[in-house]
């Protein structure tokens, strides 16, 4: 049995050397409620297509690694219960046991590289959680960026994280962190994290050249493109800081940790912002899908 299954559309695009953008599936299963999750998943795929590339939403379904989902599969996943949240550590076990799981950033990168997909668009990456000096809670996404050769377009790391420490770990691991069109590092719902980005690029073609150059140099890993949320959709950092502090304290009070922490914090912030955080999340994901498609289009040019 093949290690993974390509949808007919993704298989045709790869065979014909047309641009393809990988998409994660945890945004469907763990990021939004039904039926909004289905609507947003369809919008993300439509945005990739409108900008000239083929979307490849990735998930493990009944033990099969599916790279590119049919619409009926996305709809079923959006309504499924008890779907595992897969990263590097548990992806193989989920497949071996014939279970269903949604891919995080790390797992999506692994699948994309297996299929020969060079670009992945997501919302935000994981990183170093606050208090990691005692909890050691650091996302596997960071090490994945250091070893898997996929360009990842995100609105920075999720703002609930310790962003200075996340940036330090990425620097230690040799991951290029490239802000798109600005000098400041974006912070998911906000256009600025209050940190200067190590690198800046202003065009999809420049990002594609940097991706190719890493390959030519034999450097392992990918590059993180930190694409700021559109200005009209952002929630200012000054407004978000006390909200994140409140949500984080609530998590401590309720003993929430590990894989449950990020979903809990995102839901609590949604409640505290009366839904504005979710609206911003949708806007930034669509913006990343657009840029991801533009980069993918540049990468297939001779």
- Give the per-residue pLDDT at 151: 98
Give how far the C-alpha of residue 297 lies from the chain's centroid of Cα atoms, to the nearest Å: 19
Residue 209: strand, helix, or coil: helix
Rounded CA separation 122/222 (Å): 14
Residue 35: strand, helix, or coil: coil
Q: What is the DSSP letter of 68?
A: S
Contact 22, 68 (CB under 8 A): no
Catalytic residue among 54, 130, 158, 298: 158
- Give the per-residue pLDDT at 133: 83
Q: Which residues are annotated as a binding site?
A: 85, 105, 137, 139-141
Residues in the chain: 302
Rounded CA separation 47/186 (Å): 21
- Give the per-residue pLDDT at 132: 80
Q: Which residues are annotated as a binding site for substrate?
A: 85, 105, 139-141
Q: Which residues are annotated as a binding site for Mn(2+)?
A: 137
Range of the domain at 275: 4-300
User: Catalytic site residue 158?
Assistant: yes
- Give the per-residue pLDDT at 254: 92
Tell how strand 101-103 and strand 54-61 pair up: antiparallel
User: Catalytic site residue 17?
Assistant: no
- Give the per-residue pLDDT at 136: 87
Q: Which residues of 261-288 are buried (b: 16+ CB within 10 A; e: fewer)?
A: bbebbbbbbbebbeebbbebbbbbbbbb
- Give the per-residue pLDDT at 89: 96
Contact 174, 147 (CB under 8 A): no
Q: Tokens for 92? A: 């193989």
Q: Which residue has the tokens 């719902």?
A: 189
Say how many domains are in the chain.
1
Per-residue pLDDT tens, the chain, 302 aa: give them: 789 999 999 999 999 999 999 999 999 998 888 999 999 999 999 999 999 999 999 999 999 999 999 999 999 999 999 999 999 999 999 999 999 999 999 999 999 999 999 999 999 999 998 888 888 889 999 999 999 999 999 999 988 899 999 999 999 999 999 999 999 999 999 999 999 999 999 999 999 999 999 999 999 999 999 999 999 999 999 999 999 999 989 998 999 887 788 888 888 999 999 999 999 999 999 999 999 999 999 999 96
CATH code for the domain in which residue 108 is found: 3.40.1790.10
Contact 177, 170 (CB under 8 A): yes
Catalytic residue among 24, 75, 144, 298: 24
Q: Which residues are CB-contacts of 222 (< 8 A; sequence separation ≥ 6)?
A: 109, 145, 148, 149, 150, 151, 152, 175, 211, 214
Tell me the helix, strand and coil percentages in the chain, rounded to 5. Answer: 50, 15, 35
Q: What is the pTM of this model?
A: 0.95
């Amino acid at each position: 049995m093949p290690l993974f299954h390509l949808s007919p559309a993704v298989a045709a695009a790869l065979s014909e050397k047309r641009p393809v953008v990988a998409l994660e599936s945890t945004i469907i299963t763990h990021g939004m409620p039904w039926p909004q999750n289905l609507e947003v998943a369809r919008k993300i795929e439509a945005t990739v297509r409108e900008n000239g590339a083929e979307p490849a939403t990735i998930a493990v379904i009944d033990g099969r690694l599916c790279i590119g989902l049919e619409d009926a599969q996305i709809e079923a996943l959006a309504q499924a219960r008890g779907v595992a949240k897969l990263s590097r550590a548990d992806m193989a076990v989920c497949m071996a046991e014939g279970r269903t799981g949604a891919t995080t950033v790390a797992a999506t990168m692994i699948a994309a590289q297996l299929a020969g997909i060079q670009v992945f668009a997501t919302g935000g990456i994981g990183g170093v959680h606050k208090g990691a000096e005692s909890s050691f809670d650091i996302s596997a996404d960071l090490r994945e960026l250091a070893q898997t050769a996929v360009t990842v377009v995100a609105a920075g790391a999720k703002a609930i994280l310790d962003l200075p420490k996340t940036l330090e770990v990425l620097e230690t691991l040799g991951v290029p962190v490239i802000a798109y069109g600005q000098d400041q590092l974006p912070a998911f719902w906000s256009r600025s994290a209050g940190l200067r980005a190590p690198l800046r690029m202003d065009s999809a073609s420049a990002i594609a050249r940097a991706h190719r150059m890493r390959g030519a140099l034999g450097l392992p890993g990918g590059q993180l493109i930190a694409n700021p949320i559109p200005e009209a959709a952002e929630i200012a950092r000054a407004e978000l800081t006390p909200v994140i502090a409140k949500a984080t304290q609530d998590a401590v009070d309720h003993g929430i940790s590990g894989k449950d922490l990020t979903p809990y914090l995102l839901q609590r912030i949604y409640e505290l912002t009366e839904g504005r955080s979710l609206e911003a999340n949708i806007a930034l994901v669509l913006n990343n899908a657009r840029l991801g498609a533009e980069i993918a289009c540049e990468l297939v040019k001779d």
